[in-house]
Structure formats: structure tokens, C-alpha cells
Amino acid sequence: MRMTAYLDHAATTPMLPGAARVLTEHLAHPGNPSSLHGSGRAARRVVEEARETAAAALGARPSEVVWTSGGTEADNLAVKGLFWARRTQDPSRRRILVSAVEHHAVLDPAFWMAEHAGAELVLLPVDADGVVDVAALRDELEQNGAQAALLSVMWANNEVGALQPLDEVVALARRHGVPVHADAVQAVGQVPVDFAASGLDAMTVSGHKIGGPGGVGALLARRGLDLTPVLHGGGQERGVRSGTLAAPLIASFAAALDEAVRERPVYAARVGALRDRLVAGVRAAVPDAVLRGPADTDRRLPANAHFTFPGCEGDSLLYLLDSAGVEASTGSACQAGVPRPSHVLLAMGVDEDDARGALRFTLGHTSTEADVAALHAALPAVVERARAAGLAGRGSTPAVMA
């Protein structure tokens, strides 16, 4: 069997052994956490103990942890729930402010609200590193802060790894009474994340990005924050999120979260050093490759390296690398059969042709020197073939960033 170098941990990362053991253990036990009999009460105890674990790991109160099916649902609840709640309190608050480099789980519901719910969408510009323009945000709030329903700026960008200046963002928004949400899906386990200290009103986390299972996540919502439900039914989570809670997934997620946060300093140092060797090797193998995102490693995620390769199509690079046993991601998305460059790179001012040649390499707890060496060995021939292919690769179906 061919050995594969997996360099796509930002899309999903293998489960931590401890989290897998917890999941397996709890899958054997029946019980709906909303049931009143013994099995139901046992499942409820699992859910609430996991809530306490998650809160402790993230600097929150247990009552502020709202379980969801993952990051996408949590982002939708934040954007839609905050907007509708604010509009109910003050109909003049119609503006949704989001950075132009947000994940589609934030951008798409924001655009949907503008099309269907009377919202006015404001896309905040970013600089060449993918970092939100704080001056532009200040100007927007000073001119239209009284009409702002919410502000969403991600903790760390999922494509180029840029860390956002959340302390400045939150401070500005607070002056105008605007609640702030951050998608912290990529940040948890890589950089320090403390919900209370951040001053955020809401924050999204996800299980499968940190070594937990897929299908589970959480929205941290500060006490007293009004959210209008997006899902309706039994009202299991504070009345704002309905649906039977999956106790095994929640317990496993909490175990992964606890370990990821506890081991973060050692993990971040190890993968950061490995990332630096990956970057150096890519630059040596392909001298004209351009590293995207902040050059200062203190301003980007330690596990992230994002490059554009001039004269190449990202999907061609992706499939050629895959054939060579190296798995990565491309910054392109394909809609209606038309390859499109990453909205993140375009917002950063990258030319469309250059943006098409993007690859993201991300590391995780199973990453090794051998994975990086495999990339370095395969890359020169892959880039040469991709450049020779020219426009031929544009008709294929690229992978989608997660």
C-alpha cells in the first residue's frame, strides 16, 4: 500500500487516540439526554460534564457553551441569530459587518440575510497579508455604528493562516454597542484562545479540526446574549438550538478539546518548526513560489503554509501531488463547473491568474518529517508538469477548502 503524506489537517485532522477511545466507549451506551429514565439521566450527565470540560478549556462558563452539529451550524446561528435578535430590539440595526476573508460558513449566511432578510452587508477590507483593516472598521463604525447589528471577524484565517487583531476589533465594536462573533475553528489548539479574556460575544469551535469527531461543534455565547433560534423543535440548548444531543460525539469532542488546549504549547512549537522547514524546502525547490499570509510567524497559525505557484493551476498541482502520494488543498472552488480563484486571495489583492495557482499545506498531530520530505521530493516535477499543462488543467474539478 502506498504511503501518503497527509498535509491537509486544516480540512480535517485524524482523531486523537484519547478522543477515539471516549467515542467508542460512549457509543455502547444508549440514552437520549432529554429522557428522564436512568439511561437518559446518564447521557445527560455525560453532556453536562463535557460542557464543563469544554468551558474550562476555552475560558468560558458552562452555561455559555451551546452544542451544535459543527462549525457551520454554529456560524449560522451566530450570524442569523444575532441579526434577528438585534432587529427585534432595534429595527434600525440592519448592517452585518464581516471581513472579506471569512469562511463561507459566515459569508454565505451573511449574503443570504442580505438577499432574504433585509440585512445590509458590509465586507470589511483586508491587507495584503489577509488581516482585517482596522482603520476601515473604525471608519465604518464611526459612520454607521448605530445601524450595525453584528460584527464577525474570524480568529485565524483558514486559508492563509493570518491571525486577526481581535483585541482591537472588539474594543472598537464595544464603543458602539455592536456584538462581535469570531469563528475560532482553526485557532483552537494552535494559539491561546480564551473566550472571557477576548471580550467576544460569541465564538465558534468545531470537533474534527482538533482531533475530535466530525458532526459536533459548539457556539460559545456570553450570558445574556440574545439569539433567535435557527432550528426549531425541542429547544434543548438554552432554547436557541433544538435537536437531540449526541452524547458520544460531545464527550469525544470535549476530550479532544481538553487535550488539544492542554498540549498546545508543545504542539505549536513542534508543528511550527516543521512548518518552517516545509516553507524553506518549498522555496528551495520552487524559488518563484510565493508564501501568502503574514511572513512573521507570530502573526500566523503555526501549522499553516500557503503558497501560490506562478504559471500553474492549483487543481493540476493538487492532482499531480496526489498521484505522487502527497495530499494538500487548493484555494479554488468550483461552482457550476467554472473554476474560481479563492475569495481570500482576491480580497488580499492577489491577481486572479496568480490566485489560481494556490496550494495550502497544513500540519497536525500526526505530521512527520517524512511528510514534509515527501512534499519536497515531489514538488519540482509536479510544478514543471503543471506549468507545461498550462490551461489544460482549468477544466478539472478542484478540491474545496474546508
Full-model pTM: 0.94
Predicted confidence (pLDDT) at residue 120 exceeds the cutoff of 80: yes
Q: Considering only CA atoms, which of 236, 194, 271, 213 is closest in space to residue 22?
A: 213
- Determine the Cα–Cα distance for residues 65 and 219; give it in Å rounded to an integer: 6
pLDDT in tens, 237-247: 989 999 999 99
How much is the pLDDT for 393?
46
Instruction: State percent of the chain over pLDDT 70.
Output: 94
At residue 1 the predicted structure's pLDDT band, cuts being 50, 70 and 90, is very low
Residues tagged active-site: 334
Cβ atoms of 88 and 149 within 8 Å: the answer is no
Residue 62 burial (CB count, 10 A): 14
Query: For strand 120-124 and strand 95-99, is the pairing parallel, antiparallel, or unpaired?
Result: parallel
Q: Domain spanning 264-395 has what CATH number?
A: 3.90.1150.10
At residue 338 the predicted structure's pLDDT band, cuts being 50, 70 and 90, is low
Q: Fold for 17-262, please state it.
A: Aspartate Aminotransferase; domain 2 (3.40.640)
At residue 335 the predicted structure's pLDDT band, cuts being 50, 70 and 90, is very low
pLDDT in tens, 155-181: 999 999 999 999 999 999 999 999 999
Predicted confidence (pLDDT) at residue 214 exceeds the cutoff of 60: yes
At residue 399 the predicted structure's pLDDT band, cuts being 50, 70 and 90, is very low
8, β-bridge pairs: 362
Q: Considering only CA atoms, which of 267, 97, 57 is closest in space to residue 181?
A: 97
3-state secondary structure 147-212: HEEEEECCCECCCCCEECCHHHHHHHHHHCCCCEEEECCCCECCECCCHHHHCCCEEEEECCCCCC
Nine-digit cell string for 130: 489577509
Residue 317 Ramachandran class (φ > 0 left, ψ -120 to 50 alpha, else beta): alpha
Q: In the predicted model, what is the mean pLDDT of residues 338-343?
A: 81
* Selected residue with higher pLDDT from 390 and 330: 330
Residues 6+ apart with CB under 8 A from 393: 313, 315, 316, 319, 386
How much is the pLDDT for 330?
86
- Determine the Cα–Cα distance for residues 279 and 289; give it in Å rounded to an integer: 10
How much is the pLDDT for 402?
57
- Residue linked to cell 457551520: 72
**How do the domains of the chain map onto residue ranges?**
17-262, 264-395
How much is the pLDDT for 389?
85
Query: Which amino acid belongs to residue 52?
Result: E
- Determine the Cα–Cα distance for residues 52 and 50; give it in Å rounded to an integer: 5
How much is the pLDDT for 390?
73
pLDDT in tens, 51-61: 999 999 999 99
Nine-digit cell string for 221: 455565547
Task: Read off φ and ψ for residue 218, nearest 5 degrees.
Answer: -155, 150
Q: In the predicted model, what is the mean pLDDT of residues 131-136?
A: 98
